[in-house]
Structure 1
Amino acid sequence: MTIVAVAFFALILLGAPIVFALGVSAASALMAEGIPMSIVSQRMFAGLNSFTIMAIPFFVFAGLLMERGGIARRIIDFATALVGWIRGSLLLVSVVSGTGLAAISGSGSADTAATASLMLPEMRRRRYGIDFAAALMAAAGSLGPVIPPSIMMVVLATVGNLSVGDMFLGGIVPGLLMAFGLLVVGYGYARYHGGAYAEVSPFSLKRLGVAAVQAGPAFLMPLIIVGGIVGGIFTPTEAAAVAVAAGLLIGMFIYRELKWRDIPDLILRAAGISASVMMIIATASVFSWIVARENVPGHLMALLQSVSDNPWVFLMMLNGALLVIGMFMESISAILILMPVLLPVAQSYGIDPLHLGVVVVMNLSIGMITPPYGITLFVASSIAQRPITKVAAKVIYPLSIMLTVLLVATYVPAVVTALPELLSN
């Protein structure tokens, strides 16, 4: 195991892609022990030999269809009609839009890019603080993995042998609490930062009704996906395929912004994104097999229990470790490496695996707005054409509320488990 750890961190420090760091370090350890290299290909195939994992390329493709099909613009129009009359209206619209897109695509970077591209020109015209606006949009975009459907949750449920439907339901309340907190942060900032935020659009019930009707087909997507899985109508993979079909129908025949000539390019993009995720899953499965073979969970369990047998202390250490890991590592890679180790340790403390899974996802979603990795932070600052250091300095405001919700979800498990338990009865 020492060889694996040394090789992995050495490759990471040298800037090697995570997929090569995982694969090469695992293969090096096997070679050192004289184990045939054929085991690498066998374990990689075993890691991908899952019907549930097939949901990933479908969800990716569905997200791209929705992005190209005009869904983002209609959700922003609905958000503008809903909260555009409140001080700091464009900040609040950004949060509502990011939350709505999170419930459709589940991709934080794509949601951030769509919101920022459409909102920033008007924010500049009204002389908003662009650094804070970009930070807030990055935070709203990071809700994508928490609010279902979520690719990160599909991967975690597969690795941890958990119900995808329960994971989706478990993320709804924490995700909405984070969204509400970001609304409060946006309004509070606008309340105390000058007259630029005073310009609003008058509320119109008619306008809200029209926007709701136009956005209605888009908002049907999460209901179809989550409702179908929870209701036992179809599996997560079948739900993802239904999402693709619905995305095609909505984009082509309802909004009429998606054309047949767009499809080949979207398929290629979805294949490229999915292939990168699948390669990480494949190489991480070899890494995880070595971790299990060396009984790392057992050793870690003994170490932590020698420090404290209190589950609250364990959860505090877990949050601290995951927040640091999320700053440096891509989320799916972190899940694939850590969950085989964390799950048995958490169960030894009596922690519900579903509760653990959602807390892990929340921690890693926060990592999407914390430098140096901070993918949504980089996307927002790039589109805003602002230095990443300036935007990162303002992220402390939304970050504080997200950390508060994380603590609530960590130490009040019912925030995560109540809805799955209610709907399972």
Structure 2
Amino acid sequence: MIVAVTGFLVLLFSGTPIVLALGIAALLAIELTTTVPLSIVAQRVYGGINSFTLMAIPFFVAAGLLMEAGGIARRFVTLAGALVGWITGSLYLVAIVTGTGLAAISGSGSADTAAIAAVMTPEMRKRGYDIDLAAAVIAASGALASIIPPSIVLIVIAVTANQSIGAMFLGGVIPGLIVVAGLLLGCWLYAKRHGAAYRDTEAFTLGRLLLGFWDALPGMAVPAIIIGGIVGGVFTATEAACVALFTTLVVTMVIYRELKPRDLPRIFMRAISLSATVLIIISTASVFTWIIATQGFPQMLRDWLTGLTDSRVVFLLIVNLLLLVVGMFMESISAVLILLPILLPIAQSFGIHPAQFGIITALNLSIGLITPPYGICLYVAASVAERRIEQVSRKVLLPFVCMLAALLLVTFVPAISLWLPSVLIP
């Protein structure tokens, strides 16, 4: 166990890609500390991705890329502008509302961040907004994809925790909206106190809102079909992903007509590449978690935590701190696959529902998407805004505090994540 964990940390902090760090550390531990034949690696790699549910990932990724290229993202920005463009700090608010809409389709934070930043950053710069704060807010808007269904992270959490994907998706709805409300409030308060640039707003008109809604309606059908189909028992999460891809193709190619057949090979190749990255991480992480589990690490951590405190509140605070730190250095899916199998049984011993703990995990790791040094959404937003990551990092405190407040609410009020699944799923 010491060899596996130490090797992984050394490789990770040396800049080795996460997939290689997991695989090499596991191989070293098997070779140096066990008599298990190395053929077990192939078995565990295959077993880690031998899941019908995980087949949903490439379809959701492809649907998100089609959305980005086919005009759905731009129409969501237009609708968000009609909805909140008349409020002080309007462009920040438009970015957040757009991120909410895109999260309900793609499940990919980095893709949503890139789409929002490409559309919003030029206008924000033109109006004199603080462009570093703008990039931080856009990164937080993209990070919503980790908590608002159909989140790829929630799919992996559901599979790892042996929970219903439909229940996990529904459990993320209210926490996601609380994060949205916190970001909207935080940006509005900032804009009210920081000059005339943020008060350059457009008048609200019902006609503009209805026109924006009508234009975005076909794109809005995609999340409705996904969530409605899963919750209603019409199809599984994997089938829902296939339906989402087909629906997105129809919307972008037949209704909006912005996507051409010649664009599809490029988009599908990118979807294959991104999906392969996720699935390879899952497969190597399954080897790593197996080796540390067989060498007693989960029991050691469980004994340490239960010996440290018998308070549920203190345990949750420790877990949140641990996940926030891990999210700063590690990709979300890897963190889920390594830590959730260890922490979930301990959480259940404290009487914490697995679905609530899954949402807490997802929300912590979504915060990790905007916190350096990892912060992939922050890097994407800074890159599109043509700013250095150091400049944008100085402005991340505002969205971080808003998301942290939402995390504490979800942590200590179980009904926020459990009420909706209990109502809609028998």
What range is the shorter-chain TM-score in?
over 0.9
Matched, 1:160 2:161: yes
Please give the alpha-carbon distance, in whole angstroms, between the structure 1 residues aligned to 2:92 and 2:237: 34
Give the residue type in structure 2 aligned to 1:247: T
CA contact (8 A) 2:4 2:292 kept: no
Matched, 1:50 2:18: no
Matched, 1:148 2:144: no
CA contact (8 A) 2:143 2:367 kept: yes
Once the two structures are superposed, residues 80-128 of structure 1 have per-residue CA deviations (whole angstroms, 9 ceiling, x without a partner) of: 1111111111111111111111111111111111111111111111111
Equivalence map 1:388-399=2 (5 Å) = 388-399=389-400
Structure 1: state its 5+ residue gaps: none
Give the residue type in structure 1 aligned to 2:92: L
Let me know the Cα RMSD of the aligned residues. Answer: 1.0
Q: Which residue of 2 aligns with 1:223?
A: 224
Give the residue type in structure 2 aligned to 1:325: V
CA contact (8 A) 2:73 2:102 kept: yes
Please give the alpha-carbon distance, in whole angstroms, between the structure 2 residues aligned to 1:344 and 1:183: 36
Query: How far off its partner does 1:309 sit?
Result: 1.1
User: Structure 1 residues 244-253 or 341-350, which shifts more?
Assistant: 341-350
Please give the alpha-carbon distance, in whole angstroms, between the structure 1 residues aligned to 2:120 and 2:49: 39
User: Structure 1 residues 379-388 or 244-253, which shifts more?
Assistant: 379-388
Give the residue type in structure 2 aligned to 1:368: L
CA contact (8 A) 2:171 2:355 kept: yes
**Regions of 4+ moved over 3 Å:** none
CA contact (8 A) 1:131 1:391 kept: yes
Give the residue type in structure 2 aligned to 1:123: M
Q: Which residue of 2 aligns with 1:17?
A: 17
Please give the alpha-carbon distance, in whole angstroms, between the structure 1 residues aligned to 2:120 and 2:103: 16
CA contact (8 A) 1:331 1:364 kept: yes
Query: How far off its partner does 1:245 sit?
Result: 0.3
Query: How far off its partner does 1:226 sit?
Result: 1.1
User: Structure 1 residues 400-409 or 284-293, which shifts more?
Assistant: 284-293
Query: How far off its partner does 1:299 sit?
Result: 1.9
User: Structure 1 residues 344-353 or 248-257, which shifts more?
Assistant: 344-353
Query: If the length of structure 1 is used for normalisation, what is the TM-score?
Result: 0.98
Q: Which residue of 2 aligns with 1:287?
A: 288
Query: How far off its partner does 1:295 sit?
Result: 3.0
Q: How many residues align?
A: 425
Please give the alpha-carbon distance, in whole angstroms, between the structure 2 residues aligned to 1:195 and 1:423: 46
Please give the alpha-carbon distance, in whole angstroms, between the structure 1 residues aligned to 2:92 and 2:404: 20
CA contact (8 A) 2:86 2:202 kept: yes
Query: If the length of structure 2 is used for normalisation, what is the TM-score?
Result: 0.98
Query: How far off its partner does 1:302 sit?
Result: 1.3
Equivalence map 1:115-134=2 (5 Å) = 115-134=116-135
Once the two structures are superposed, residues 389-411 of structure 1 have per-residue CA deviations (whole angstroms, 9 ceiling, x without a partner) of: 22111111111111011001001
Query: How far off its partner does 1:78 sit?
Result: 0.3
Once the two structures are superposed, residues 304-335 of structure 1 have per-residue CA deviations (whole angstroms, 9 ceiling, x without a partner) of: 11111111111000000000000000111101
CA contact (8 A) 1:112 1:141 kept: yes
Query: How far off its partner does 1:14 sit?
Result: 2.0
User: Structure 1 residues 38-47 or 284-293, which shifts more?
Assistant: 284-293
The alignment partner of 1:144 has SS state of helix
Q: Which residue of 2 aligns with 1:8?
A: 8
Query: How far off its partner does 1:53 sit?
Result: 0.6
CA contact (8 A) 1:300 1:345 kept: no
CA contact (8 A) 2:62 2:245 kept: yes
CA contact (8 A) 2:76 2:216 kept: yes
Q: Which residue of 1 aligns with 2:322?
A: 321
The alignment partner of 2:373 has SS state of coil
Please give the alpha-carbon distance, in whole angstroms, between the structure 1 residues aligned to 2:14 and 2:126: 43
Q: Which residue of 2 aligns with 1:346?
A: 347
Q: Which residue of 2 aligns with 1:262?
A: 263
Q: Which residue of 1 aligns with 2:245?
A: 244
